[in-house]
Amino acid sequence: MESCREIELEGHIIDSGIMTLVFDRIMDMGGEFEILTFDVGKQKTDTSYARLRVAAPAEWQLDAILSELHRLGARTPEISDVTLVPAEGDRILPKGFYSTTNHPTFVKYRDEWLPVEYIEMDCHIVVDEKEKRAICTPISKIKAGDAVVVSEAGVRVVFPERPRKVSTFEFMHGTVSSERPSEAIIAKIACEILEMKKAGEKIALVGGPAIVHTGAADALAKMIHEGYIDVLFAGNALATHDIESNLFGTSLGMNVRTGTLVTGGHKHHIYAISEIMRAGSIKNAVDQ
């Protein structure tokens, strides 16, 4: 049985291309839409308003679509207060936590819209219930008992309304890298590795998350197991995305095998960190 829900969009949604983004996202994710109301601003300074009915074959699919549309500024007509769940420990997030964008964000708390302070992407929203403040908080600053916002209910994102002639930076959007080595360089490095190992020398590798993001993690693991790499230097990003890929099959929210974005994948690396903190260590998490 088909599932459907209504959403609203308001602002300079035509000039900014937001309506096109919404339509594309719905269709790309296997959904359908019907425009119920579309009030177009008559002047360039006027805003427009649209109300759509979004449908999908299954409830879970509809939830995934609405989650993506939420990040584009869409909202449901009936808005409830945010749901708050206390953090069970330092740097441990409750299940279903809300992950922020870098766009202006508001939360509805006790029928009042609170602006989220210090907004930045891939963080979380903690509500100070005594002072009635909503604060964007990275996982490293989450304390036991913090009232953390979960789900997108009661959260409103103001998607930027960009001028027509201004190009914008898009995170992880490039398709060509000047750092991509040629086959000749790879072959030369491979020969040098073999020569060094024959001479009894040791090899250290300085790695970053691109190892996981490009799907090379299994190859590196095999080289380590077979004794070609003796020392690995890396920051926390390599570990985070390696764990993410093992839990979800993604890196930075992209399917490692197909290179396509996964719905809700922007939260996966945060989930990975939180689960390690919940387990107490990487070793404990692997054992569990």
State the CATH number of the domain containing residue 9: 3.30.70.2690
* Position 205 in a domain: yes
The residue with tokens 């708390």 is 109
Residue 215 tokens read as 């799907």
Q: Classify the C-alpha dihedral 8-17-22-116 as positive or negative.
A: negative
* Position 170 in a domain: no
Q: How far is CA 162 from the centre of its chain?
A: 22
State the CATH number of the domain containing residue 259: 3.40.50.10690
Q: Left if phi > 0, otherwise alpha if psi is -120 to 50, otherwise beta: which for 21?
A: alpha
In the chain, the DSSP E strands lie at: 3-11, 32-39, 48-56, 83-86, 105-109, 112-117, 124-128, 133-137, 147-150, 155-157, 204-207, 231-234, 250-251, 254-255
* Position 137 in a domain: yes
- Does residue 86 sit in the same domain as residue 116? yes
- Does residue 132 sit in the same domain as residue 225? no
Q: Tell me the residue range of the domain where 91 lies.
A: 79-161
* Position 178 in a domain: no
Give CA–CA dist 6/60, Å, rounded. 16
| Torsion (CA) 263, 157, 172, 266 in degrees, nearest 10 | -40
- Three-class DSSP category at 162: coil
Q: How far is CA 15 from the centre of its chain?
A: 26
Q: How far is CA 8 from the centre of its chain?
A: 23
Q: State which amino acid sits at residue 50.
A: A
- Does residue 48 sit in the same domain as residue 109? no
* Position 169 in a domain: no
- Does residue 94 sit in the same domain as residue 32? no
Please choose, from the candidates 61, 43, 48, the residue with its C-alpha nearest in 3D space to the C-alpha of residue 20. 48
- The residue out of 78, 102, 119 marking a domain boundary is 78
Number of domains in the chain: 3
Give CA–CA dist 66/75, Å, rounded. 9
DSSP bridge pairs for 261: 254
- The residue out of 78, 107, 123 marking a domain boundary is 78
* Position 261 in a domain: yes
* Position 61 in a domain: yes
* Position 238 in a domain: yes
Tens-digit pLDDT string for the chain (288 aa): 678 989 999 988 888 889 999 999 999 999 999 999 999 988 878 889 999 999 999 888 898 899 889 989 998 887 789 999 999 999 999 998 999 988 899 999 998 999 999 999 999 999 999 999 999 999 999 999 999 999 888 999 988 765 444 444 444 444 445 555 578 888 899 999 999 999 999 999 999 999 999 889 999 999 999 999 999 999 889 999 999 999 999 998 888 888 777 877 888 999 999 999 999 999 999 999
Q: For the packed helices 18-28 and 59-70, what is the interaxial angle rounded to 10 degrees?
A: 160
What pTM did the predictor assign?
Answer: 0.65
